[in-house]
Structure 1
């Protein structure tokens, strides 16, 4: 069998010719005279073409572009070709995940890479993207790395290296250096480039401080006089111009703050605050602000309290203890149900003192006023006519506009005298003679025999007692 020790390339070599020899290593001496036992053959191997992705001319690309270059500036060009026999055209594309902010674009036909916006070197000095090449009509692609360097342009002015205040003793001597300042620049510094310092024109001839450029990107601040007082002026502002001497040259004005402090004899700073000199004369600004804030808060609370009291219509101070208990009024008659909504005036429930008085009905008035019968208001003491008594009460209720509701139940606790009907009291039935005959209990069977004997014996004893009385 034949095997490949390495890969073959159709584009490099399409045909291979091999010469193969076969022999028998184990010969029998009896057949040596029959001739040589070996043979040779020629084998030709053809390499078939396989569809492969495009191949870039270079393994990677590195380009440079000027900082702040306008949109559409050409960065460089990448090139890939199809190595197959078909030699199909190639299309180029920048995968978005390699250029998320889309700073660059590529021409899909010729692979020309251009910018889509101005670039800032101080924000991102290098951009590393990828370009993909794909044959038309095929899905296989090849990617190549493209590194783009943003060339620096002097577009940032210099500034102070630190923004700290300069603390100066009020007893400082004239000619003493109180600070040495330096500068920094976000742009790249070329060889032998340095910063220069000068005082701003408006303070160039001041009587307090002077500046000396040391020619090494630093400057010294000197004091010109003595007798600085914190009460007169505790802070001085010194504007300084800084030039970077670049191409093009840029400069900026930075302000140096000098604060006057109290020091001891060894020039050790004791205090730089101005409050100790203000306190003997009165309160400090912070204390006054705090007091005013408290007063405003108290006024707001009082106004809110008064507004709430006025909304509730209650006095600010309660002089008497109010009785807030619920007043329960009991009525002896029954109302007319849910439909009788005006049987009682709600004022009666709110005013317990008027519960015993007579209030006229507000739902309706009787159309007729019935005259009272003679003697109807005061019935005779010995009258036992209950029917007339009830009719009298009904007539009074119908004709009286101050009477309770018409659909109410009137309860009367009157019982007449001399009625033909006897008393219904169960207590009196024990002493009366009973006309009941309990002989039928004998026919109820043995289960009620005991009961029949008890009532039968009682009847017999009563008869014997009657006969004894007759005799």
Structure 2
């Protein structure tokens, strides 16, 4: 016959009650001595209480009060002259006593987990005099435990991690269940752990609750998370025990057991030759099934004819290899480059070196595309000279530009009039010959800086620029001039031969070795004998002197 949970509890209650009564009957055969009792100045014979320590089964479900035990004094002859009184914890409210017989009953259902024992006091009174016939004495009613609490995981649900590829038996986490039943009585609070969900990957130690790996080489890249259900059952796992469960989420943490792998053995990218230096040409990425630091890698160009022209670096956020230009590209010089690129893990786990090298190689071919470039001058700056005496139409020099593209389109020339506002110069549109268009004056402008435009005849939008510095050579086309208007004052008592004024001259021309001036008095002034001029023979600071006549 199978018993349900309630029926089983009733069975345990009856069994405990039977044991309790049996123990009391045996105790009634023994006597525990109390101190002498004095009454009315007379000493009487020592009396004794007779009882056993009382036990009450918790969670009693019956309708009648539950019999606890019997108090009895050896002075009680059974003639009703003795009255029993109960006091202390739960007296009257939980426990009642038959004052005639000393029988104690529990009137309420008791829960050991709320209170495990009650301390009460017993007294025997003479019914006629209401005087004690025995000293008051304490006794204890203990609440007998039954298995009415299932184990509970107070810290659940659990989360834990364990490295992938861990050996069998690696500890993952410990789970703990608590049982509110009495751990000192029977097996009600003794639990056994088992795994209900999570095999064959994990196991649990029955006594300790330690969860361990049960399969070797569990691969995070195949499955990274497992949900386990752990059961704790009391009564040492025997039939009739109560159980509780909790869940454990186990995550496999990553180890570097996967090398980087390029998805393709070769790549090809087309880039225009006009791409500036430091521009990004391409992004490539090697796939790594690992995560975090285990997936970090570095790239390098190990071979190819693009060494020095291109470089590769790693994007720390995306782990991509970024190929950039280090030197200008020229389709007319080289139309393609080949790079041999390696990707390698930065953090290698020595345990997995036997799996092979933690790196991979790929080939990147870069095709340089032709771009319609503007004409290019043979020199970045042309220097030319022309005399300021040159006539209009005089040839000064020639500039030359060519189309760098394979089509080698003819070039036409012109002068940027923003740099030659007064149109001093002309250029032949076909030959690039520069000639004078106006008379030149070195004293007005000694150097002319002009910009020459070279335009593709087939694509006028493609314009190249050349720069020409034209230096004007000086000729002696300016007469000397006195540096200033002189007004000389002389004292009437000036001595003959005394210098009264120094004069100087300037010349706008610019002879190579400097100016030499010669001074003389005009014919009219030469007839005045009061003054003389002394020429310094080319000295730039001649002076005037003369004798003064007084009137």
- Whether the TM-score (by the shorter chain) exceeds 0.5 is no
TM-score by length of 1: 0.44
* Higher-strand-fraction structure: 2
Which gives a bigger RCO, structure 1 or 2 (Cα 8 Å, sep 6+)?
1
* Higher-helix-fraction structure: 1
